[in-house]
Amino acid sequence: MRDTDLFQAALGLSAPWVVSRSEFDADQKQLDLHIDFSPGSRFACASCGADGCPVHDARERQWRHLNFFQHKTVLHARVPRVSCEKCGVKQVVPSWARPGSGFTLLFEAFVLAMAKAMPVANVGDIIDEHDTRVWRVLDHYISRAVEALDLSAVTQIAADETSARRGHDYISLFVDIARRKVVFVADGKDAATVGAFATFLEKHGGKKENVTDASIDMGAAFIAGVKANFPNAKITFDKFHVVKLVNDAVDEVRRGEARNSDWIKGTRYLWLKNLQNLTDDEKTKLVELETANLDTMQAWQMRLNLQDLFKCPSVTSARKFLDRWHVWVETSDLKPMIKAARTIMAKADDILRSIASGISNGLLEAINGNVQAAKRKAKGYRSKHNLKLMVYLIAGGVLDQLPT
């Protein structure tokens, strides 16, 4: 078999395309494959699909392809324009690449697969291309996939913010609970982000009136946004946000006590853990702290006890549990815990709803963890737009099928 026949078979080319010649530069470690078409060949019109259009002229183009063994491979081809009786002169789109790209479809699929698993800068190093070219590929496919989302079946949503970079700079993630996928990423974390999601939802076949449940944090912005945009949605405050609220109160008690007690210094992270997650050394330390009659110990026990609320079998039993817990906290003199307890009681109906519905932001907490892990591996992103692309890529399921 001739080398040109071998490469033509490997590339999957069919008439009128043929591999006319191949060149290998050992010094540059590059294989160049030249593709051409026979004189008199006719092509389909890219606009109307009419067959048998004659060639008007042709222009030389090139694309980066998958490596041949360890060697860079570049395809070169004369790409024709055809004369269509209906549409006029139109550019032919070769089967191995998309319009405007300097990479073949298979090479772009390879890039996308790697970008799911490693930072874009690392992908660029592996393929020996600047990472800006990789970002252009990601932007094209992810943006197109997001634009094609069908959200007509969305009825339950969850929303939460995650940091985009150091400082008060955030993006908000909106998840379709049924699909367990991020379907929208917005700048900021205010009520306007919920409005932007509502607009996006209706643009993609969904209806605001069909949303029956929204799992969010207890911030006023998200609450106002949901009430303004989703009139039929019942709000749920799930376990993660309730426990975070109380954790913050425990830490406030600890900070106040640390000013006057050497016992408590250096124990910040101890109080953020559950009992079963403590190391042997931490358990030993906890036994020592129990003898010191610390306010922080009492606040921590209140937090541990509250977590059992979400193990209650029914809303009725959970309500009784929460009332008893509230009385316990109110009779203490721990002002941060009392403040947190009063916030929880003011929102008790929306908190207890998670017990009946089973709706939780646990999925979003896991997604946030994956997003932050990807951000740390990449050592940050040059723009918030790039971060949003990565969220869609790793948590949106938008590219489950890669281009071929």
Q: What is the pLDDT of residue 404?
A: 66
Q: What is the pLDDT of residue 389?
A: 94
Omega prior to 16 cis, within 30 of 0: yes
One-letter-per-residue 3-state SS of the chain: CCHHHHHHHHHCCCCCEEEEEEEEECCCCEEEEEEEECCCCEECCCCCCCCCEEEEEEEEEEEEEEEECCEEEEEEEEEEEEEECCCEEEECCCCCCCCCCCECHHHHHHHHHHHCCCCHHHHHHHHCCCHHHHHHHHHHHHHHHHHCCCCCCCCEEEEEEEEEECCCEEEEEEEECCCCEEEEEEECCCHHHHHHHHHHHHHCCCCHHHCCEEECCCCHHHHHHHHHHCCCCEEECCHHHHHHHHHHHHHHHHHHHHCCCCCCCCCHHHHHCCHHHCCHHHHHHHHHHHCCCCHHHHHHHHHHHHHHHHHCCCHHHHHHHHHHHHHHHHCCCCHHHHHHHHHHHHCHHHHHHHHHHCCCCHHHHHHHHHHHHHHHHCCCCCCHHHHHHHHHHHHCCCCCCCCC
pLDDT digit string, tens, across residues 267-283: 888 888 888 888 888 88
- Segments making up each domain of the chain, as ranges: 1-95, 156-237+361-385, 239-357
Q: What is the pLDDT of residue 264?
A: 84
pLDDT digit string, tens, across residues 129-155: 999 999 999 999 999 999 999 999 999
Q: At the topology level of CATH, where does 156-237+361-385 sit?
A: Nucleotidyltransferase; domain 5 (3.30.420)
Q: What is the pLDDT of residue 167?
A: 65
Q: What is the pLDDT of residue 370?
A: 87
Cα-Cα end-to-end distance for the chain: 26
Measured from the Cβ of residue 191, the count of other Cβ atoms closer than 10 Å reads: 19
Angle, helices 120-127 vs 105-115, to 10°: value is 140
Biggest distance spanned by C-alpha atoms of the chain: 95
Tokens read off for 296: 């922080």
pLDDT tens for each residue of the chain, 404 residues long? 578 888 888 888 988 999 999 999 999 999 999 999 989 999 999 999 999 999 999 999 999 999 998 899 999 999 999 999 999 999 999 999 999 999 999 999 999 999 988 999 999 999 999 999 999 999 999 999 999 999 999 999 999 988 887 766 899 999 999 999 999 999 998 999 999 999 999 999 999 999 999 999 888 899 999 999 999 999 999 888 899 999 999 999 999 998 888 788 888 888 888 888 888 888 888 888 888 889 999 999 999 999 999 999 999 999 999 999 999 999 999 999 999 999 999 999 999 998 888 887 788 888 888 888 888 888 888 889 999 999 999 999 888 776 66
Q: What is the pLDDT of residue 168?
A: 67
Burial class (CB in 10 A: 0-12, 13-18, 19+), 217: buried
Q: What is the pTM of this model?
A: 0.84
Going from the C-alpha of 267 to that of each of 169, 272, 295, the distances in angstroms are 29, 10, 13
pLDDT digit string, tens, across residues 211-263: 999 999 888 899 999 999 999 999 999 888 899 999 999 999 999 998 888 78
